[in-house]
Structure 1
Amino acid sequence: MQEKNLELVDKIMTALQGVEDPELLIDVVNLGLIYGIDIEGDHATIKMTLTIVGCPLSTYLQNAIEKAVLSVPEINKCDIKLVWYPVWNPERMTVAAKKQLGILDNEQALDQENKIEETEEKEKIIDFSVPIKKLAEEYPDFIQIMYDCGFTRIKIPGLLSTVGRVMTIPLGAQDMKIDLDKVKQAFEDKGYKVID
């Protein structure tokens, strides 16, 4: 994917975070409904799903998504491709969405807090040769640090479980034209030891 297209995907994902499911009051990105974005020139195709087949909000969400995508100045045409595989389930939601919906009970929330504390207590090491999926699973703040460095695609649902299994930080930085020293500094500022 060309650098220009990567930038457009980032802009579209940002715009889509403004589209909320009116029943759940959570945006379609955090719900995990966006499965992919393809761009050809000024034409975007959004691959998405719904929480249930026959969702009464299908037309509303598709119209809102199209409007959000067309709000990106470089995009003049938008198609919505509704897919049903992989089947959506609550595991596709971000932790923030699960908390907002009360899916994480007090015990689960406490477990997650304990994991975060345990991670903070042990030495945090970012090895640039390790795939980003593994680093994201090990360190709760990894995704946000990467996002803040400019890796905005890291929040696209499914990215970590697909490309993330083989993508390393240096490869991602090269692909997105992000300064690797800036990334290293960002992790060091958060108390990580970086091995490159």
Structure 2
Amino acid sequence: MPEIPQWASQALSEVYDPCCREKGISVVEMGLVRSVEVDGGRARVELLLTSGWCPFAARVLTEVRERIEEQPGIREAEVEVVWDEVWTTDRLSPRAAGLLRFLPDPARVPDKSAYIRRELR
């Protein structure tokens, strides 16, 4: 994954995919920000979506653009959804993965009853 500049990560740390807002998981922690590049005061941000059918995509793109444009030295930002890479759960930060509690691949859980008992504690 390309490195996202620290200033951009901070700027986007309070932008949420509406589906994860209640858990406090930002677009950065979701791994939705693929890249941020700046050339002469013009920023270009590439975002992935968790689903191509995301009904909130326009809102997220607008909020990302606004947050980036608020940053010193940035006079304009372009935010683009990229379609040549699929978002997967391995892009989640460890904190986000813990909060979302994705289930493991069933083939990797030899004793399903023990797994359920352990996770329901």
For the aligned pair, the TM-score class normalised by the smaller chain equals 0.7 to 0.9
- Would you say the 8 A contact 1:98–1:104 is kept in 2? no
Flag structure 2 segments of 5+ consecutive residues without an equivalent.
105-113
Q: For residues 12 and 28 of structure 1, what CA distance do their matches in structure 2 show?
A: 11
1:99 — aligned with what? 98
RMSD: 2.3
Flag structure 1 segments of 5+ consecutive residues without an equivalent.
1-5, 111-196
2:26 — aligned with what? 27
* TM-score, normalised via structure 1 length: 0.48
Structure number, greater radius of gyration: 1
Distance 1:104 1:14, change over 3 A: farther
Q: Does 1:37 align with 2:33?
A: no
1:16 — aligned with what? 12
> Runs of 4+ in structure 1 displaced over 4 angstroms?
104-107
Post-superposition offset of 1:67: 1.0
Post-superposition offset of 1:104: 5.8
Q: For residues 97 and 104 of structure 1, what CA distance do their matches in structure 2 show?
A: 13
Q: For residues 66 and 81 of structure 1, what CA distance do their matches in structure 2 show?
A: 10
Q: For residues 9 and 41 of structure 2, what CA distance do their matches in structure 1 show?
A: 16
2:52 — aligned with what? 53
**What CA deviation, in whole Å up to 9, does each residue of 1:85-134 have, x standing for no partner?**
22001111111101111226895xx9xxxxxxxxxxxxxxxxxxxxxxxx
Letter in 2 for 1:10: Q
Q: For residues 12 and 20 of structure 1, what CA distance do their matches in structure 2 show?
A: 14
Choose between structure 1 and 2 for higher RCO, CA contacts under 8 A separated by at least 6 residues. Answer: 2
After TM superposition, the structure 1 = structure 2 runs for residues 34-183 of structure 1, keeping only pairs within 5 Å, are 34-103=33-102
Q: For residues 58 and 34 of structure 1, what CA distance do their matches in structure 2 show?
A: 13
